[in-house]
């Protein structure tokens, strides 16, 4: 149970946080570059989600092979991004955006590019 809480509670908490942010109508900042800030936040949100899922799979399954360690968290992160965009279509003044979905996917991809670089360099997995 402790292993489950250590690895999967952060994933769940982060997913809830993303859902909460998506539920806020008119989510904007007072900064001049609000649009850019919001797009960067999409990248960061899904970078963190991919990392947390990767960490959860690596820590929960002792015999998981490297391809599955990349495929499962990627698929779950991307499916969550799709569900998040669909969820936003039901929130007043928010909409479902393919561009935002692609930006979310960039966050996932950036995590894996960094992870592959670290893995090749140090011969270990980034957890």
| Distance from C-alpha of 73 to C-alpha of 96, rounded to nearest angstrom | 23
Mean pLDDT value across residues 63-72? 88
Domain boundaries, the chain: 2-18+34-122
pLDDT band at 126 (very low <50, low <70, confident <90, very high): low
Place of tokens 């930006």: 103
Reply yes or no on whether the pLDDT at 84 is more than 70: yes
Reply yes or no on whether the pLDDT at 123 is more than 60: no
Total-model pTM:
0.88
User: What does the DSSP assignment read for 81-92?
Assistant: HHHHHHHHTTST
Whose CA is closest to 100, among 116, 81, 113, 115?
Answer: 81
Place of tokens 């292993």: 3
User: Do 50 and 112 touch, CB atoms closer than 8 A?
Assistant: yes
Mean pLDDT value across residues 83-110? 94
pLDDT given for residue 125 in this prediction: 52
Q: How many residues does the chain have?
A: 127
Mean pLDDT value across residues 93-101? 91
| Distance from C-alpha of 48 to C-alpha of 81, rounded to nearest angstrom | 12
> CA-based diameter of the chain, in Å?
49
Q: How far is CA 56 from the centre of its chain?
A: 13
| Distance from C-alpha of 117 to C-alpha of 77, rounded to nearest angstrom | 20
- Structural tokens at position 53: 């899922």
User: What digits encode the pLDDT tens for the residues 11-57?
Assistant: 999 999 999 999 988 777 777 787 888 889 999 999 999 999 999 99
Q: Which residues contact 111 (CB under 8 A, 6 or more apart)?
A: 47, 50, 51, 54
């Amino acid at each position: 149970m402790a292993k489950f809480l250590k690895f999967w509670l952060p994933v769940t908490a982060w997913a809830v946080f993303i859902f909460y942010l998506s539920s806020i109508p008119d989510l904007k900042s007072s900064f001049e570059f609000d649009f850019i800030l919001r797009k960067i936040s999409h990248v960061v949100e899904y970078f963190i989600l991919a990392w947390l899922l990767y960490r959860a799979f690596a820590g929960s399954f002792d015999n998981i092979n490297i391809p599955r360690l990349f495929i499962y968290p990627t698929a779950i992160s991307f499916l969550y991004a799709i569900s998040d965009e669909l969820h936003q279509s039901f929130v007043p003044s928010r909409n479902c955006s393919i561009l935002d979905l692609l930006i979310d996917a960039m966050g996932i991809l950036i995590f894996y590019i960094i992870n592959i670089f670290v893995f090749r360099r140090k011969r270990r997995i980034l957890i």
